[in-house]
Amino acid sequence: MGNHAILSASSSHRWLHCLPSARLELEFENTNGEAAKEGTAAHALSEHKLKKALRIRSKRPTSEYDSDEMEECTDAYVDFIMEQVELARKSCTDPIVLIEQRLDFSCYVPDGFGTGDCVIISDDRLHIVDFKYGMGVLVDAEDNPQMKLYALGALEIYDSLYDIKEISMTIFQPRRENVSTWTVPVEELKAWAEEELKPKAAKAYQGEGEYMPGPWCTFCRASTRCRARADENLKLAQMEFKMPPLLTDSEIEKVLTILPGLTKWANEITAYATDAAVNHGKEWYGFKVVEGRSVRKYKDENAVAEKAVISGYKDIYRKSLIPMTEMQKLMGKTKFEEILGNLIYKPPGKPTLVPNSDKRPAMNVADAKNEFNEIMEG
């Protein structure tokens, strides 16, 4: 068995919806971006710090991604875990704490395994915590299939040793200030595993079932070339576009619903085709590679400054503060708030139309109208 399961826990939200996707992804190279490498570094550091907090020998890892922000985030994670351990000690004198534990759930998912960042067992309760350093997508613990698979893997080890009645699952995502916990009875979790997970996993492992495009396509390696996703997105092109006054309200609402996914897909196709043409010599019929727009640059800034001064021009330099995110990274979040907190303000954002499922509160319509008009007229 390799280092990565075909039906991994981290991609379960995808293959549970689109059963053949896991096999299809094997045809594409798994390339880790900078965010993934940074996440790996953060996990290694958090593991070291947690071991030290639990008085387990550990050597501090070094990484090019080390930063004050990573220090603060990993410290916060360790503080949270230790709080949970103390809570567990109130009902259990000697709770078990497992760090970076391999969890095998292959009795439900063929060759299925994953790694739990932290597992705490205290008599009748099992608590799994997943540390997510990423800040792109807000992750919710409720009914999260990755966490449920980890829970099943932990039960396989300890269910026979402890009378575990319920499982809590926590997503700790410090850069999004997100700590999400969901608790489920063991029997309910096992029922889901037998009735839904096991039959779907069996089909997914064989590459059987129907391709089902949806929000879960986002990180699928096959998404750009996937025909099912293309067919779904191209349905929008079948609509006869007219000027907005001629569209009904329901038609506009349908376009608004589909448009973000269609735009994202179109950008991915463009990026894929451009990469193939520029880096791999692919020729697309009816298209050519041209030089994009660029801006003029100084060849040698020192030489430019010298000549400008000689010519009598003195006001040639501009000094500005580094961006706020860079400043916070430099100082660390705590020091940043302490030193500059009362000098920071956040202006209202541009009014944006989003689905009702968005967690942000609705704006006052009159205020939104005024701000929108100011932006359009500015």
Cβ atoms 125, 164 nearer than 8 A:
yes
**What is the structure's pLDDT at 4?**
65
SS3 105: coil
Mark out the alpha helices in 19-173 (DSSP H runs). Answer: 21-25, 34-53, 68-89, 145-158
Which residues share a beta bridge with 103? 114
State yes or no: pLDDT of 55 exceeds 80: yes
State yes or no: pLDDT of 369 exceeds 70: no
For the chain, where are the E strands, in sequence order? 96-104, 113-122, 125-131, 166-173, 178-185
Rounded distance between C-alpha atoms, residue 171 and residue 178, angstroms: 8
175-189, 319-333, 343-357, range with greatest mean pLDDT: 175-189
73, two tokens: 């985030």
For 319-349, b/e burial (b = at least 16 CB within 10 A) is eeeeeeeeebbebbbeebeeeeeeeeeeeee
Give the pLDDT band of residue 371 (cuts 50, 70, 90).
Answer: low
State yes or no: pLDDT of 108 exceeds 90: yes
Cβ atoms 49, 75 nearer than 8 A:
yes
- Comparing 147 with 356, the larger pLDDT belongs to 147
DSSP structure string for 144-202: -HHHHHHHHHHHHHHTTTS---EEEEEEEEGGGTEEEEEEEEHHHHHHHIIIIIHHHHH
Which residues share a beta bridge with 98? 119
Kindly report, residue by residue over 155-171, the tens digit of the pLDDT.
998 888 888 999 999 99
**What is the structure's pLDDT at 318?**
80
Rounded distance between C-alpha atoms, residue 92 and residue 341, angstroms: 41
**What is the structure's pLDDT at 35?**
85
- Comparing 88 with 293, the larger pLDDT belongs to 88
Cβ atoms 152, 111 nearer than 8 A:
no
**What is the structure's pLDDT at 365?**
64
Our measurement of the distance from residue 77's CA atom to the centroid of its chain's CA atoms, rounded to an integer in Å, reads 17
**What is the structure's pLDDT at 2?**
44
Rounded distance between C-alpha atoms, residue 114 and residue 11, angstroms: 11
**What is the structure's pLDDT at 1?**
38
State yes or no: pLDDT of 290 exceeds 60: yes
When the pLDDT of each residue in the chain is averaged and rounded to a whole number, the result is: 85
Which residues share a beta bridge with 308? none
Backbone angles phi, psi at 265, to 5 degrees: -65, -45
Hey, what domains does the chain have and what are their CATH numbers? 12-215 (3.90.320), 224-280 (no CATH)
State yes or no: pLDDT of 16 exceeds 80: yes
Rounded distance between C-alpha atoms, residue 53 and residue 56, angstroms: 8
State yes or no: pLDDT of 376 exceeds 70: no
Q: Quick one: which of 106, 103, 135, 137 has its CA closest to 117?
A: 103
Give the pLDDT band of residue 288 (cuts 50, 70, 90).
Answer: confident
**What is the structure's pLDDT at 131?**
96
Cβ atoms 109, 14 nearer than 8 A:
no
Give the pLDDT band of residue 48 (cuts 50, 70, 90).
Answer: very high
State yes or no: pLDDT of 242 exceeds 70: no
Percent over 90 (pLDDT), the chain: 41
Q: Which amino acid is at 276?
A: A
Rounded distance between C-alpha atoms, residue 36 and residue 198, angstroms: 29
